[in-house]
Amino acid sequence: ALGLSLKRTLGGLLLGGALGFGFGVLLGLSRTSERLLGPSLSALRQIAIFAWVPLLTAWFGLGELSEGVFGALGAFFPLFIATQRSVTHLSPQLREAAQVMRLNLWQRLRLLVLPGAAPGIFAGLRLSLIYAWLGTIGAEYFMPSDGGIASLMIGAQQLFRMDQVMAAMVLIGLVGALLGTLGQRLESRATRWRTA
């Protein structure tokens, strides 16, 4: 059950994180895109994640796809917000250096934008990892699923197996804490060049 939940979490993180990173870079670099998409994404961000359940089940059904999309939705917004803010608030000296060196978009991204925004991006990735885990557990709990920790917990609850319910709750908390620690270590390793 734990392996299945972690697999769903990883799938949601890959999909939602990739979209969040892409949209964050796009809106951070392009004022036009920010004016077009920014208000809509900002409004969608205010909606509680579990309020999406009826809409997602109507769009994607009750199977694995809707659970994956739910986890991806949880991972999308933290990385999107962190990436957009990090790219938007880059040092003006970096922008001037890019203009003086006449770098094209790809060179500017690779040499200046992404290294300068890396701390914020990795902080967002850490949050996305935790939110993907919470989204996966929520999806398994609120949508019919073929296995997973939350599904196991619901089955134990119906059989009045409180030992299994408590064990599943503790396991969910421990895995969440481990994922947070893993994200923090990844963040510190990826950005240690800034303190060297």
pLDDT in tens, 73-97: 888 989 999 898 888 888 777 777 7
- Candidates 49, 3, 12, 51; CA nearest to 152 is 3
pLDDT of residue 18: 93
pLDDT of residue 34: 83
pLDDT of residue 162: 85
pTM of the predicted protein model: 0.81
Instruction: Express each pLDDT in 109-155 by its tens digit.
Output: 787 788 878 888 888 888 898 888 888 888 877 776 677 787 778 77
Share of the chain above pLDDT 90, in %: 5
Contacts of 119 by beta carbon, 8 Å cutoff, 6+ apart: 86, 187, 191, 194
Rounded-to-integer distance, Cα 66 and Cα 190, Å: 32
| Residue count of the chain | 196
89 alpha-carbon distance from chain centroid: 21
Rounded-to-integer distance, Cα 82 and Cα 16, Å: 13
pLDDT of residue 100: 78
pLDDT of residue 14: 92
